[in-house]
Amino acid sequence: MRLPVTAALIAVTLLVSCGAIRESRLNPLNWFGKSREVEQTAVVSQAPQDPRNLVQTVLSMAVEPFPGGAIIRATGLPPTQGWWSAELVARPVDENGVLVLDFRVFAPPTPKPVVNQQSREITAAISLSNIKLDGIREIVVQGETNARSSRR
């Protein structure tokens, strides 16, 4: 009984150390790669229209796994200072397993100046459970002028 358990532990240790599991699709940490710029999808009008605008540019997007799901985090760049109430608003998942998230923000009530890029960046995130991620093959974060995506 000791010999099979010892052999199994050695085999698992060798597989993990050589990268067979680390690079595998079975490893949940590899489910979504780095984001890349993609073509925008058409904006679908929804019954209760969201009064917020799409952020002008999506600078970055990351899918960060955690036990029980993943956090989708995106950073956007509005045209001026003062944009607020950022949120990633999910559209229904399409038949190809693509989840599109609109990066929505409110415009400032009064015009604001344009300052440096770092002070205008806005970050928003959304948490999805493994159950919701089950049929999703690609996640797209949509802005006004661009979109970024990450695939499994």
State the Cα angle at 86 between 53 and 65, rounded to 5°: 125
Which contacts (CB < 8 Å, 24+ apart) does range 130-135 have? 130/68, 130/69, 130/70, 132/69, 133/31, 133/69, 133/70, 135/93, 135/97
pLDDT tens, position by position, 112-150: 888 899 999 999 999 999 999 999 999 999 999 999 999
On whether the pTM is more than 0.85, the answer is: no
In the chain, domain spans: 1-30, 33-151
pLDDT tens, position by position, 61-85: 999 999 999 999 999 999 999 999 9
